């Protein structure tokens, strides 16, 4: 195992962790407000389709990003109305969104482009292309630190850096602002928030909207940054992995970053089985590497990572006392 191989795996880890991190932060805001959202997968999928489709037609990845966020927000509104306004079962609503998105995305893509449920390949300004950070070229020749900065930290799409900045921003919003305090209080004891004269419904809808925006960015990155277009079921369970990462992180932004990097690392290993074989000296089946993120998801959801206590009012509709 050589240094360039390690750099390649770390680079892929960041790219694969980005959509997971965005979806994980989306679920973090929603669940901190007491709204469990199984529909992260469906929102990401719908956003990926709309982002790729609009980017292909308009030739602009930024317009595609806005379209992806809009699609995700529309599904978030459906989930919010079902679970907040009508006090429906939040898990059923989320599962319904996943099924709806899985079918509609292929149908719409086939109807628009007639390419077997996919969009045309995106090129040029229709994609979020890699950007070189300041000083990367100058530091490239510096031993160790230069290649790390040039090959691992630099050279990603702008949405990767947006996702990284959202981690400290989410921490600050949730734990250092009045809005964050109220949002967390709604997820723990909505009755006390209501008694203080603060609208529980408004706060929960705000959290659901934030969730929709972040899922929209995640889906748009999948289709216009990580890949060059939309294909059927391209989220490949990332929404569920993000939920597992959220539990693993115990609903905290910084821990969410570490958890998503771990899942991203497991996905990156799938591309370089020779790296594992060089360490353990045993040939590894590709199918096993592909299954590693999902195996870890099952392990986490089975409760083998310690006690993770969700918000106390999570999943429960709030009924205002008269």
**Over the stretch 244-278, which tens digit does the pLDDT of each residue have?**
899 889 899 999 999 999 999 988 887 766 655 55
Q: Give 89-97 contacts, CB < 8 A, sequence gap 24+.
A: 90/35, 90/36, 90/37, 90/38, 90/315, 90/317, 91/36, 91/38, 91/315, 93/39, 94/36, 94/37, 94/38, 94/39, 94/40, 94/42, 95/38, 95/39, 96/39, 97/38, 97/39, 97/42, 97/43
DSSP state for residue 59 in the 8-state scheme: S
The residue range of the domain holding 86 is 17-239
Res 322: pLDDT? 58
Closest CA to 213 of 319, 77, 122: 77
User: What does residue 156 show for φ and ψ, rounded to 5 degrees?
Assistant: -110, 165
Determine whether 45 is exposed, middle or buried from the number of CB atoms within 10 Å of its CB (0-12, 13-18, 19+).
buried
The rounded Cα 90 to chain-centroid distance in angstroms is 19
Whether 301 is covered by a domain: the verdict is: no
Whether 97 is covered by a domain: the verdict is: yes
User: How many alpha carbons fall within 13 Å on the CB side of residue 164?
Assistant: 12
CA 122-23-210 angle, 5° bins: 100
From CA 17, how far away is CA 260, in angstroms rounded? Answer: 5
Whether 122 is covered by a domain: the verdict is: yes
From CA 134, how far away is CA 138, in angstroms rounded? Answer: 9
Res 85: pLDDT? 93
Whether 278 is covered by a domain: the verdict is: no
Whether 94 is covered by a domain: the verdict is: yes
CA 200-206-212 angle, 5° bins: 140
Res 1: pLDDT? 57
Whether 291 is covered by a domain: the verdict is: no
Q: How far is CA 307 from CA 171, 243, 250, 294, in A?
A: 22, 16, 9, 20
Residues 6+ apart with CB under 8 A from 193: 182, 185, 186, 200, 203
Q: What is the pTM of this model?
A: 0.93
Res 137: pLDDT? 87
Res 110: pLDDT? 93
Whether 268 is covered by a domain: the verdict is: no
Res 17: pLDDT? 96
Res 277: pLDDT? 53
Which spans in the chain are helix H?
3-32, 40-58, 61-80, 90-113, 136-139, 145-147, 158-176, 178-188, 190-195, 200-221, 238-248, 253-269, 273-280, 286-301
User: 144-157 pLDDT, tens per residue?
Assistant: 888 899 999 999 99
Q: Which residues of the chain have pLDDT under 50?
A: none
Neighbours of 165 (CB within 10 A): 10
User: 198-210 pLDDT, tens per residue?
Assistant: 999 999 999 999 9
Structurally, the chain folds into a number of domains equal to: 1
From CA 122, how far away is CA 63, in angstroms rounded? Answer: 13
The strand pairing partners of 306, in sequence order, are: 304
| Secondary structure (3-state) at 306 | strand
Whether 304 is covered by a domain: the verdict is: no
């Amino acid at each position: 195992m050589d240094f360039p191989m390690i750099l390649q795996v770390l680079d892929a880890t960041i790219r694969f962790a980005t959509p997971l991190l965005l979806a994980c932060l989306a679920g973090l805001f929603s669940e901190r407000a007491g709204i469990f959202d199984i529909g992260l997968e469906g929102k990401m999928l719908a956003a990926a389709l709309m982002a790729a489709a609009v980017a292909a037609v308009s030739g602009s990845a930024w317009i595609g990003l806005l379209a992806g966020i809009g699609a995700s927000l529309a599904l978030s509104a459906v989930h919010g109305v079902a679970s907040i306004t009508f006090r429906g079962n939040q898990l059923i609503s989320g599962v319904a969104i996943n099924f709806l998105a899985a079918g509609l995305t292929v149908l719409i893509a086939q109807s628009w482009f007639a390419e077997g449920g996919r969009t045309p390949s995106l090129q040029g300004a229709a994609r979020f292309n890699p950007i070189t950070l300041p000083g990367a070229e100058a530091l490239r020749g510096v031993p160790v630190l230069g290649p790390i900065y040039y090959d691992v930290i630099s050279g990603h799409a702008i949405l990767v850096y947006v996702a990284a900045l959202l981690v400290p921003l989410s921490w600050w919003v949730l734990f250092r602002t009045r809005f964050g305090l109220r949002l967390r209080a709604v997820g723990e004891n909505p009755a006390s928030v209501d008694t203080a004269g603060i609208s529980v419904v408004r706060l929960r809808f705000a959290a659901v909207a934030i969730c929709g925006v972040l899922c929209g960015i995640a889906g748009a990155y999948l289709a216009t940054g990580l890949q060059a277009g939309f294909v059927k079921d391209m989220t490949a369970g990332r929404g569920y992995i993000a939920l597992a990462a959220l539990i693993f992180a115990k609903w905290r932004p910084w821990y969410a970053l570490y958890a998503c990097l771990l899942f991203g690392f497991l996905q990156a290993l799938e591309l370089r089985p020779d790296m594992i074989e060089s360490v353990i000296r045993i040939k590894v089946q590709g199918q096993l590497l592909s299954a590693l993120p999902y195996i870890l998801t099952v392990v986490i959801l089975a409760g083998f990572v310690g006690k993770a206590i969700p918000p106390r009012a999570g999943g429960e509709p709030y009924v205002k006392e008269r």
